[in-house]
Structure formats: structure tokens, C-alpha cells
Structure 1
């Protein structure tokens, strides 16, 4: 029910804000403000998105839980979407989502409503970086030539050039 209310309320709020701000600034400055916030917001989202991706890679490399970098990245995607939508309310929410402290606050609020379960894998152990794994190998180039491999069936014709 709350989703239906949001779908109805957000466009109405945006229209009201356009009318109020357009009456105060006039048409062209209002449109320039909407387009300017979208362009500036998207450039900031691209920069912070790269930083979030680097943080995610670092978390995976260090074998840390990647949930926080993934959540930051998802909220940055939402910020970019909101900034692309024309309107002042969506721009304000998108700009708030660009602030790392606000994203952390949103993640904490969502975390209070989410139950996390973990799946334990048994029998699989990833070796430590300094652990030595012994084994044998042979170089295929040193083996004697056993002749050319020949097909055991007639070609179908699909690979003919």
C-alpha cells in the first residue's frame, strides 16, 4: 500500500515544486537548475562509483565481507537514477545519497529490518597466501610427438569456410 502511495505522491510533489520554483525563478533558470543538477550529480556518481568499485575489489582481495561496498554501490546507482529523473525532490534525495555518511545511515536503517543468514561451506578451505602447495607437473612440449589428431567422424559441413 505504501508503494502505491509513493507512486501517486512523488509526481504530485514534483509538479507542485516545479510550479512554486518556476514561479519564483521563471522558466529558463528553473530548467537550467534541473539539467545542471542532473549533469553535476551524474559526474559525482561516476567518480564515487569508481571509488566504490575499488573498495569492493579491495574487500574481496582481503577476504573481507563485501556487503558494505556492495550496498554503497547500490545506493550510488539509486542516486544516479534519482538525479537523472527531472524534479527537485528526486534531485534532493539523490544528492543526499551522494553523501557517504547519509548512505551509511540508510544502510543502518535497512539493516535493522533485514535478517542475514550465512551459508557455511564444509570441506572447502582456501589456502593462505604464504601456504605451500606441493604437486608434480610435466611440460607437454617435452613429450614426444604422437602424431596428428584425426577426427573419428565425417565433418558436418557447418564449419566449412
Structure 2
């Protein structure tokens, strides 16, 4: 767990700073700043649009008494995409944009489901009457 935290708080910002510096060197200051602002605005718009679609899918599944599992997973992945898009930098923006595409989320969903199932199987997450305990 510690190695993931080190990667998260040291590795990713380091890579982002290097990418921003190279971008500034290759394109110049103003085009780099414009690109950062553009990806932020476009990302926010796309995250909102996809989030609304996921929410509508969730509501539909609840109304038809279907399990909302995939809609919930999509909502989580769209939330992660939104967070990545808010962070300054190009690498996080790329991953954030990728998560906004339904085809990419469809490929990632099985990994998410397997990880969640493993945690439930190992009693790291216990579900009783629809409530998470632990």
C-alpha cells in the first residue's frame, strides 16, 4: 500500500511536471496554458454529460427493479475521470478523457468487478441487508 501512495503523491506529480516543462519548451508558455485550460473545460463538460447518462441509467435500472451494478461502476469510473481531469497536467487528463469513453469503461469494468469480488470473498467488505460493514 505504501508503494502506491508514494507513486500517487510523488511519482505522478513528478511525471506531470516533466510533461508540462517539455510542453512549455516545445510549444511555448501560452499554447501550453491554453491547452491546460481547454482540456479542463472540455473535460468538465464531458464528465458532466457522461455523469448525467450514468445517473439516468441508474434511475432506469432502479425503476425497472434491475440491479444497478454496471451503472454504479460507471458512475465511480466517471467520478475518477472527473478527478483526473481537474488535476493539472497532461498525463492525468489523458487517463481522465479515456475513462469518459463508454468503450474504455466497458474494458475496465471487469477489473473493477474482480477486485470488488475478491475483497468481498476475503471478508474485507461484508454486505448485510444491502449495507456495507467493516
TM-score by length of 2: 0.83
Structure with greater proportional strand content:
2
Distance 2:104 2:5 in 1: 22
**Residue number in structure 1 paired with 2:81:** 79
Unaligned runs of 5+ residues in structure 2 are: 121-125
Provide the aligned length of Structure 1 versus Structure 2: 121
Q: Please provide the CA RMSD for this pair.
A: 1.7
CA distance in 1, matches of 2:80, 2:127: 26
Match of 2:123 in 1: none
Shift of 1:106: 1.7
Q: What is the DSSP-based 3-state SS (H/G/I as helix, E as strand, rest coil) of the residue aligned with 1:114? A: helix
User: CA–CA distance in 1 between the matches of 2:14 and 2:127?
Assistant: 42
- Which structure is richer in relative contact order (CA contacts within 8 A, separation 6 or more)? 2
Q: Does 1:108 pair with 2:103?
A: no
Cα 1:8/1:120, change in 2 over 3 Å: closer
Large movers: runs of 4+ above 6 Å: none
Q: Render the CA deviation track for 1:42-97: whole Å, top value 9, x for unaligned.
A: 11111111111110000001111111101111111111111111100110010011
Aligned-residue offset at 1:113: 2.1
Distance 1:114 1:52 in 2: 20
- TM-score, normalized by length of structure 1? 0.70
Q: Could you say which structure has the larger radius of gyration?
A: 1
Alpha-carbon deviations, 1:89-127, whole Å to 9, x = none? 110010011111111222211222222576569xxxxxx
1:124: which partner in 2? none
* Structure 1: runs of 5+ lacking an equivalent: 122-161
3-state DSSP of counterpart to 2:38: helix
